[in-house]
Amino acid sequence: MSGIPEEYLSDYDFGFNAVDDIPSSNVQIDTQPLTDDVEGINDNVLRIEQKVDALVSSLNSLNAKMMDMDDEFDMIQATTEKEVKDKLVQVEKLIMPLLVNLLKTSDKDYIHWPDREEKVKSQIDRLLAITRGE
């Protein structure tokens, strides 16, 4: 073999032979270790799938609970908004008569309001009962 350096022409055996015909396949391959490995891998995959299924189930359960809580929150919020609107209407009914009466007498420079302490305290009490539940 000309042109190849001598150092590469050694008799090192790489484990193959050149042949003219296809060799017969009398070679037995031991597949048992491979089968054991595959079974072990299948067992691990099955355990992982079971854990993933459990996680998905837990997530679905949590999602359902969150949706229930969201619905409950919406209901509470709607109730609270209605209560606030009702209280505002009650406050309006307490204040508007005073303002309307003051407006009716806007052409007068002075207001004569005898015994107002009892009436003002009564309105204050009614207003606090509405806003603070007292």
Domain regions of the chain by residue span? 30-132
**Is pTM, for the whole model, over 0.75?**
no
Segment 85-125, tens digit of pLDDT:
999 999 999 899 888 888 888 898 888 888 889 989 999 99
Residue burial 2-35, b: 16+ Cβ < 10 Å; e: rest = eeeeeeeeeeeeeeeeeeeeeeeeeeeeeeeeee
Segment 55-74, tens digit of pLDDT:
999 999 999 999 999 989 98
